[in-house]
Amino acid sequence: MKKFHGIPIAPGIARGVAWPILPVEAGPTPRYAVSTECVAGEHVRLEEALDFACGELLALKRSLTAKLEDADTAIMDVHVALLRDPSFLADVKARIHRDLVTAEHAVAVETESMVARFLQMENAYMRERASDLRDIGTRLLSAFTRGAHPSDRHASFPANSIVIAAELMPSQAAELDPGRVVGILTEIGGPSSHAAILARSFGIPFVTGIPDVVQLVQRGESILIDGYTGETILSPTAPATLRFDVLLKEHEDYTEAIIHHRHEPCLTTDGVRVTLHANIGSVSEVSTVLDNGLDGVGLFRTEFLFLGTAHAPRLSVHERIYRSVLQPLRDRPVTIRVLDLGEDKIPEFLRARPKLCHRFNVRGLRFALAFPNFLRTQLRGLLRASSDGNVRILFPMVVGVDDFQAAVAHVAWAAEKEKLTAMPPVGAMIETPSALFELDGIIEFADFLSVGTNDLTQYLLAASREDTDYEGHYSMLYPGVLKALQHIVDRAARAECDVSVCGEAAGIPAVACLLVGMGFRILSMSPHRSAAVRHALRLMSANELKQIATDALQMRRVADIRRHIKERMESRVQPVHDSHAAGVEAIV
Q: Please say which residue, 142 or 457, places its beta carbon nearer to Mg ion.
A: 457
CA atoms of 232 and 575, how far apart (whole Å): 20
Quote the least distance from Cβ 295 to Mg ion, whole Å.
22
CA atoms of 80 and 88, how far apart (whole Å): 12
Q: Please say which residue, 452 or 517, places its beta carbon nearer to Mg ion.
A: 452
Residues that bind ligand PEP (CB under 6 A): 299, 301, 340, 431, 452-455, 502-503
Q: Please say which residue, 104 or 455, places its beta carbon nearer to ligand PEP.
A: 455
Q: Provide CB contacts within 8 A for 488, sequence distance 6+.
A: 430, 436, 439, 449, 451, 499
Structural contact between residues 379 and 393, judged by C-beta atoms closer than 8 angstroms:
yes
Quote the least distance from Cβ 486 to ligand PEP, whole Å.
17
Quote the least distance from Cβ 457 to ligand PEP, whole Å.
8
Q: Provide CB contacts within 8 A for 91, sequence distance 6+.
A: 110
Q: Please say which residue, 132 or 455, places its beta carbon nearer to ligand PEP.
A: 455
* C-alpha distances in Å from residue 190, one per residue of 18, 130, 482: 21, 11, 28
From the list 282, 451, 302, 447, the residue with the least C-alpha distance to 382 is 302
Residue 578 binding result from Mg ion, ligand PEP, none, given CB thresholds of 5 to 8 Å by partner type: none
Q: Please say which residue, 80 or 276, places its beta carbon nearer to ligand PEP.
A: 276
Residue 214 binding result from Mg ion, ligand PEP, none, given CB thresholds of 5 to 8 Å by partner type: none
Quote the least distance from Cβ 2 to ligand PEP, whole Å.
36
Q: Please say which residue, 180 or 301, places its beta carbon nearer to ligand PEP.
A: 301
Angle at 411 between CA 405 and CA 412, to 5 degrees: 90
Residue 43 binding result from Mg ion, ligand PEP, none, given CB thresholds of 5 to 8 Å by partner type: none
Quote the least distance from Cβ 8 to Mg ion, whole Å.
23
Residue 42 binding result from ligand PEP, Mg ion, none, given CB thresholds of 5 to 8 Å by partner type: none
CA atoms of 508 and 102, how far apart (whole Å): 52
In this structure, how many other beta carbons lie within 10 angstroms of the beta carbon of residue 519?
18
Quote the least distance from Cβ 465 to Mg ion, whole Å.
9
Phi and psi dihedrals of 201, rounded to 5? -65, -40
Residue 453 binding result from Mg ion, ligand PEP, none, given CB thresholds of 5 to 8 Å by partner type: ligand PEP
Residue 324 binding result from ligand PEP, Mg ion, none, given CB thresholds of 5 to 8 Å by partner type: none
CA atoms of 572 and 564, how far apart (whole Å): 14
Buried b (16+ CB within 10 A) or exposed e, 494-505: eeebbbbbbbbb
Using the contact rule CB under 5 A, the part of the chain among 58-66, 194-202, 318-326, 445-453 near Mg ion is 445-453
Residue 502 binding result from Mg ion, ligand PEP, none, given CB thresholds of 5 to 8 Å by partner type: ligand PEP
Q: Please say which residue, 160 or 434, places its beta carbon nearer to Mg ion.
A: 434
Q: Please say which residue, 4 or 125, places its beta carbon nearer to Mg ion.
A: 125
Residue 11 binding result from Mg ion, ligand PEP, none, given CB thresholds of 5 to 8 Å by partner type: none
Structural contact between residues 107 and 45, judged by C-beta atoms closer than 8 angstroms:
no
Q: Please say which residue, 310 or 362, places its beta carbon nearer to ligand PEP.
A: 362
Quote the least distance from Cβ 489 to Mg ion, whole Å.
18
Structural contact between residues 108 and 137, judged by C-beta atoms closer than 8 angstroms:
yes
- Contact letters (x/-) for Mg ion, 372-411, by CB under 5 A? ----------------------------------------
From the list 492, 108, 500, 41, the residue with the least C-alpha distance to 275 is 500
Q: Please say which residue, 299 or 513, places its beta carbon nearer to ligand PEP.
A: 299
Residue 376 binding result from ligand PEP, Mg ion, none, given CB thresholds of 5 to 8 Å by partner type: none
Q: Does residue number 205 form part of the binding site for Mg ion (CB under 5 A)?
A: no
Quote the least distance from Cβ 343 to ligand PEP, whole Å.
11
Q: Please say which residue, 361 or 547, places its beta carbon nearer to Mg ion.
A: 361
Q: Please say which residue, 301 or 546, places its beta carbon nearer to ligand PEP.
A: 301
Residues 412-441 that bind Mg ion (CB under 5 A): 431
Residues 339-368 that bind Mg ion (CB under 5 A): none
Where does residue 357 rank: exposed (0-12), middle (13-18), buried (19+ CB within 10 A)? exposed
Q: What are 391's strand-pairing partners?
A: 334
Quote the least distance from Cβ 502 to ligand PEP, whole Å.
5
Q: Please say which residue, 78 or 114, places its beta carbon nearer to ligand PEP.
A: 78
CA atoms of 273 and 584, how far apart (whole Å): 26
109 CA to centre of own chain: 29
Quote the least distance from Cβ 460 to Mg ion, whole Å.
13
Residue 584 binding result from ligand PEP, Mg ion, none, given CB thresholds of 5 to 8 Å by partner type: none
* C-alpha distances in Å from residue 455, one per residue of 262, 404, 452, 474: 29, 18, 6, 10
> Kind of pairing, strands 426-430 and 498-501?
unpaired
Phi and psi dihedrals of 159, rounded to 5? -60, 150
The single residue among 226, 455, 467, 504 that binds Mg ion, judged by CB under 5 A, is: 455
Residue 503 binding result from ligand PEP, Mg ion, none, given CB thresholds of 5 to 8 Å by partner type: ligand PEP
Q: Does residue number 152 form part of the binding site for Mg ion (CB under 5 A)?
A: no
Helix (H, G, I), strand (E, B) or coil at 427: strand
Residue 138 binding result from Mg ion, ligand PEP, none, given CB thresholds of 5 to 8 Å by partner type: none
Residue 333 binding result from ligand PEP, Mg ion, none, given CB thresholds of 5 to 8 Å by partner type: none
CA atoms of 446 and 405, how far apart (whole Å): 9
Quote the least distance from Cβ 466 to Mg ion, whole Å.
13
* C-alpha distances in Å from residue 457, one per residue of 251, 480, 498: 30, 9, 21
Which residue has the closest beta carbon to ligand PEP? 452
CA atoms of 265 and 259, how far apart (whole Å): 13
Q: Does residue number 452 form part of the binding site for Mg ion (CB under 5 A)?
A: yes
Quote the least distance from Cβ 100 to ligand PEP, whole Å.
45
Quote the least distance from Cβ 340 to Mg ion, whole Å.
6
From the list 507, 128, 72, 59, the residue with the least C-alpha distance to 283 is 72
Phi and psi dihedrals of 181, rounded to 5? -95, 120
Q: Which residues bind Mg ion (CB under 5 A)?
A: 431, 452, 455
